[in-house]
A = this chain, B = another copy of it.
């Protein structure tokens, strides 16, 4: 009886949620199509019936934007924190629930893209470079870094650029540059826009506007091979060859496969990936970046003895460790196609580096011991202001356009308790040099230690070396590093104990109900 009542109640809740949702969409459609009588003009007047934009590119495409982003913008128009003579009066006439309804309606629209703009091949080529590579030495991150590989945006905070007009995109970049638009989260867009010339702005906007729906901009292949680096590298650092130097033929094909696996491991090494992380999440710029464990440095470093498994590790064995721990997955055979592809990619990147010699300026420096014992509580505050934008307040990362754009830092889809990154000292050093993405070095040492402690005192998947119980496993594998939270009690849960991750997920579901 009880069971049936529960099922019935559950079904009713589901039905109500469904109906409310549909109701909001209906209200949203009504406001978009007809406005709010006497207060707000129909959105469709300028932005089109399906949010496709209008006025020959003056009025932006608002279709397909993350609802939370549209909500934030409409509220910003309403309270004046985003200035617009046109939009502010409209937003003033909308209630919070009107705004939500409009945002939800627009998020679901998929009108066709406008016709691509007139642009010369050289404009598109320059734009492609800025969009996919950027010019980090002047603060210009690539657009794809945050807006996703297909520029479709990442909920909740990062808007879609896909299908937007060149006119609107360049107007916004100029507004960021000139301070007419608030600098955005982490002031990233202000920094990006200030690093761009008027020509840069125009070319990047033209290139984005020329993309077709779902198209993934490719990293350009300059006619004359020239190295590039996604962010400023030490002049002493080794520069791996550019993608354009990958030769044709089966060898080059395998290099490219390795690069694809590196870029999107769950997609290209599906049978081995145990979570949504990709190699590039720790080895930035697809393993090229000198400051975050570059793969070219690893290639010339192995075979080497590792205390972790008590064996001399070949590069294959070392990468197997990544699959076992960081990707919480299945270990590929040493001669599997996937592992061979990754090794071949690393070999290709290491072209010209001397074997067995530690390359200069490779890796991130080890942070000094912390002045104060790392505090997860302090770290939580750093996390909220500097990390949550990309990794989510819940630590579960952010997806957009079908890909994991920002990696989960804890929870079921993150690295497990055996991964090197679960060591607070390792994570703190990585974070200090590399995070926030595009603004490495801006945290104090203590902030880096604290936020690493926060991240690594959250639940994550079990250590594959788990034996008998959490105490024994802690003694065997978690007693070498200070500030290792494995086996410690945090928020009433013993980290690493069987069932902890599941309990934590259950608590989250209940909290969010």
Contact = CB atoms under 8 A, between A and B. Distances in A.
A355 B298 CA distance: 12
A303 B352 contact: no
Contacts of A303: 251, 254, 340, 343-344, 347
Contacts of A348: 356
Residue among A249, A312, A317 with most chain B CB within 10 A: A312
A340 B314 contact: yes
A73 B339 CA distance: 61
Given A317-B335, A334-B335, A335-B314, A249 B355 contact: no
A83 to B, nearest CB: 55
Interface in A347-406: 347-348, 350-357
A8 interface: no
Contacts of A351: 354-357
A218 interface: no
Nearest to A347: B303
Contacts of A311: 250
B251 A305 contact: yes
A314 B333 contact: no
A299 interface: yes
Contact of A355 (B251, B299, B316): B299
Interface residues of A, number: 32
Contact of A314 (B304, B317, B343, B354): B343
Interface in A305-320: 305, 310-312, 314, 316-317
A300 interface: yes
A480 to B, nearest CB: 18
Interface string A246-268: 00011100100000000000000
B340 A347 contact: no
Contacts of A302: 347
Contacts of A254: 303, 312
Interface in A58-86: none
Nearest to A307: B250
Most chain B CB atoms below 10 A, which of A348, A352, A355, A357? A355
B354 A352 contact: yes
Given A316-B334, A334-B333, A250 B305 contact: yes
B356 A354 contact: no
B251 A300 contact: no
A360 to B, nearest CB: 14
A352 B312 CA distance: 19
Nearest to A250: B305
A280 B260 CA distance: 39
Contacts of A353: 354-355
Contacts of A334: 316, 333-335
A46 to B, nearest CB: 56
Interface in A210-259: 249-251, 254
A255 B347 CA distance: 21
A431 to B, nearest CB: 30
A162 to B, nearest CB: 36
Given A303-B254, A305-B250, A316 B344 contact: no
A69 to B, nearest CB: 44
A355 B356 contact: no
Interface string A448-462: 000000000000000
A311 B250 CA distance: 8
A312 B344 contact: yes
22 contacts: A250-B310, A250-B311, A251-B303, A251-B305, A251-B312, A302-B347, A303-B343, A303-B347, A312-B344, A314-B335, A314-B340, A314-B343, A316-B316, A316-B335, A334-B334, A348-B356, A350-B355, A351-B354, A351-B355, A352-B355, A352-B356, A354-B354
Given A251-B312, A299-B355, A314-B344, 13 more contacts: A250-B305, A250-B310, A250-B312, A254-B312, A303-B347, A314-B335, A316-B334, A333-B334, A334-B335, A350-B356, A353-B355, A354-B355, A355-B355
